[in-house]
Structure 1
Amino acid sequence: MQLLPSPSSLSSSSSSVPLQSPKFPPVFSHSPAFLRNCSFAPSFSCLSSVSLKKLSVECRRSEYFEQQQRFSGPADDSSPQSAGALPSRVFVGHSIYKGKAALTVEPKAPEFAPLDSGAFKLTREGFVLLQFAPAAGVRQYDWNRKQVFSLSVTEIGTLINLGAKDSCEFFHDPFKGKSDEGKVRKVLKAEPLPDGSGHFFNLSVQNRISNVDENIYIPITKAELTVLVSAFNFILPYLLGWHAFVNSIKPDDPARINNANPRYGADLEWSR
């Protein structure tokens, strides 16, 4: 059996096998016979035991990209949604809490229907859902007694244009044109506060079907109304479905290339 030198003797030895070389790392400065037999020092490794490992890089698709797919409108044949993948759903809202009531504002997406040509048509515009809940205690609200009011895009435009001293009123009958018309009456009023610090939002609901007579009001400050108006300005084109049209425009669309004549737009205007 061949005895191998200890690590301490290697560090102090002045033999013909140096520990370091000005040209190569220490592991390559020893003779091949020594390298085949070494197994004791953690700073040395045998070349026969060295193995190469393949490294792999795993990429994760951004969640933001998946969320964008949800709001990009109807999918075309090459989109992930048309291939059977479920789109990501995102729920958003903004809430205002006061002593007498709470108000939650939520946007609702428009609806599209497929046509025989493969295109999509807007069947229902989006809206903003207002939910009013009366207070049930200190910082507690009875959401079982909540009342809802859906703002159309035109009503949203009225609130966006609401001045500091302006007021507005909206009337809804959910059963208008049906057999129960007139049995449910909803009136939403926005009136300026006496001190000019904001507006009162007052929702009155009279439901003779379920025997409900509810009146919920909440003060909205100028700052809170500014936040709502900013959100309304942003979401309004999406409620109209115009984002789906913009996302469907493709530079290589044959129909658009054939109609690239500068006079095309004028023909539509004057040929009526």
Structure 2
Amino acid sequence: MPSLNITASGGRGILSIQNPQKLSSCNSTIPTSILVTRRKNDVFLTAPYGKCSINVSFSVKSQYLTPQEQRQQQQQQQRRFSSYESPSPSQPAGQSPPRVYVGYTIYKGKSALAVEPRLPEFSPLESGAFKLSKEGFVLLQFAPAAGMRQYDWSRKQLFSLSVTEIGNIISLGPRDSCEFFHDPYKGRSEEGKVRKVLKVEPLPDGSGHFFNLSVQNKLINVDENIYIPITKAEFTVLVTSFDFILPYLLGWHTLANSTSPEEMSRLNNANSTVDYEWSR
């Protein structure tokens, strides 16, 4: 095998190949030296000629990158190794990623249930930072059936699960149940005119849970009750999804994604006077 020697002088690099082996019966040999300059793709070949000649063409990428190229390379690596991040609702103008809509829908004979997460809201501070102003939630949409595999979404009833209510559903056992009461106008003049009750109860045969939503709205004279059976598999999908999205509804992902290690150390040092439990 040929041996390689690499030398550099005056911004140039020379790649020398000693004792080159013959490539063919025409007595052609590989180049004995390659001259590489600082410029990209600037390559010169020097080779002895045998009984016939051989043309070799290739490109060499220089190791020398401009500061702009180095920044672009770092940004590409960060995008390559960063995990998926859900869109942040309060990023500065011009930097917000495109919105992504996701959900999970369960269809049954008499009704359908659509489940969608809603991300938290943030308020800007004078320092330029952001503070959580409203926790996220999971929106449940119940729609009654209007025919065979048809559902009347114009008559849908909504129920928003808070993070604590989500925790209650996640902790349910096969025989456990829970109940939530909402008054959207609590503390206002219309208090008591809209009443929503969501019950989650185990099915009698233990094959899953019942989701039963009753809505009484005196403002528009509506009194409706929509229920849907949820199998064990469907309930597992709901619980797994709730468990995954819960930290995002609290906004904790924004702290992890927006704080560099250097900034985290600075903040920890600034709060070093706090008597942490583990430092006692």
User: Is TM (by shorter chain) over 0.5?
Assistant: yes
For the pair 1:229 / 2:246, whether they are aligned, the reply is no
**Inter-CA distance 213–257: structure 2 relative to 1 (3 Å threshold):** closer
What are the superposed Cα offsets for residues 114-166 of structure 1, whole Å, 9 maximum, x if unpaired?
A: 00011111000000000000011111101011000000000000000111111
Which one has the bigger helix percentage? 1
Secondary structure of the corresponding residue to residue 232 of structure 1: helix
Kept in 2, the 8 Å contact 1:185–1:206? The answer is yes
The amino acid of 2:212's aligned partner reads: N
What are the superposed Cα offsets for residues 218-247 of structure 1, whole Å, 9 maximum, x if unpaired?
A: 001111111100000000000001111222
For the pair 1:266 / 2:265, whether they are aligned, the reply is no
Q: 1:70 aligns with which of 87, 101, 111?
A: 87
CA distance in 1 between counterparts of 2:215 and 2:127 reads 44
**Inter-CA distance 231–64: structure 2 relative to 1 (3 Å threshold):** farther
Pairs within 5 Å for 1:54-203: 68=85, 70-71=87-88, 74-75=90-91, 82=92, 84-203=94-213
CA distance in 1 between counterparts of 2:194 and 2:135 reads 23
Name 1:215's counterpart in structure 2: 225
Kept in 1, the 8 Å contact 2:196–2:216? The answer is yes
The amino acid of 1:244's aligned partner reads: T
Kept in 1, the 8 Å contact 2:125–2:131? The answer is yes
Offset of 1:260 from its aligned partner?
A: 8.3
Secondary structure of the corresponding residue to residue 252 of structure 1: helix
Secondary structure of the corresponding residue to residue 117 of structure 1: coil
Kept in 2, the 8 Å contact 1:134–1:141? The answer is yes
CA distance in 2 between counterparts of 1:69 and 1:142 reads 31
Offset of 1:84 from its aligned partner?
A: 2.0
**Inter-CA distance 109–241: structure 2 relative to 1 (3 Å threshold):** same
Name 2:33's counterpart in structure 1: none
The amino acid of 1:237's aligned partner reads: P
CA distance in 1 between counterparts of 2:154 and 2:248 reads 30
Normalised TM-score (structure 2) = 0.68
Kept in 2, the 8 Å contact 1:67–1:89? The answer is no
**Inter-CA distance 199–69: structure 2 relative to 1 (3 Å threshold):** closer
CA distance in 2 between counterparts of 1:164 and 1:84 reads 47
**Inter-CA distance 215–64: structure 2 relative to 1 (3 Å threshold):** farther
What stretches of structure 1 of length at least 5 have no aligned partner?
1-19, 31-58, 76-81
The amino acid of 1:230's aligned partner reads: T
What stretches of structure 2 of length at least 5 have no aligned partner?
1-24, 30-50, 53-72
**Inter-CA distance 122–260: structure 2 relative to 1 (3 Å threshold):** closer
Q: Which has the higher contact order (CA 8 A, sep 6+)?
A: 1
Name 1:34's counterpart in structure 2: none
For the pair 1:238 / 2:248, whether they are aligned, the reply is yes
CA distance in 2 between counterparts of 1:221 and 1:142 reads 22
CA distance in 2 between counterparts of 1:151 and 1:69 reads 19
Secondary structure of the corresponding residue to residue 186 of structure 1: strand
**Inter-CA distance 83–209: structure 2 relative to 1 (3 Å threshold):** closer
CA distance in 1 between counterparts of 2:135 and 2:148 reads 38
**Inter-CA distance 266–98: structure 2 relative to 1 (3 Å threshold):** same
Offset of 1:251 from its aligned partner?
A: 2.0
Kept in 2, the 8 Å contact 1:67–1:88? The answer is no
For the pair 1:249 / 2:259, whether they are aligned, the reply is yes
Which one has the bigger strand percentage? 2
Offset of 1:66 from its aligned partner?
A: 11
Offset of 1:168 from its aligned partner?
A: 0.8
**Inter-CA distance 231–211: structure 2 relative to 1 (3 Å threshold):** same
Matched pairs, number: 223
Looking at CA atoms only, which structure, 1 or 2, has the larger radius of gyration? 1
CA distance in 2 between counterparts of 1:169 and 1:256 reads 41
Root-mean-square deviation (Å): 3.6
CA distance in 2 between counterparts of 1:152 and 1:194 reads 27
**Inter-CA distance 67–155: structure 2 relative to 1 (3 Å threshold):** same
CA distance in 2 between counterparts of 1:63 and 1:211 reads 54
Offset of 1:68 from its aligned partner?
A: 2.9
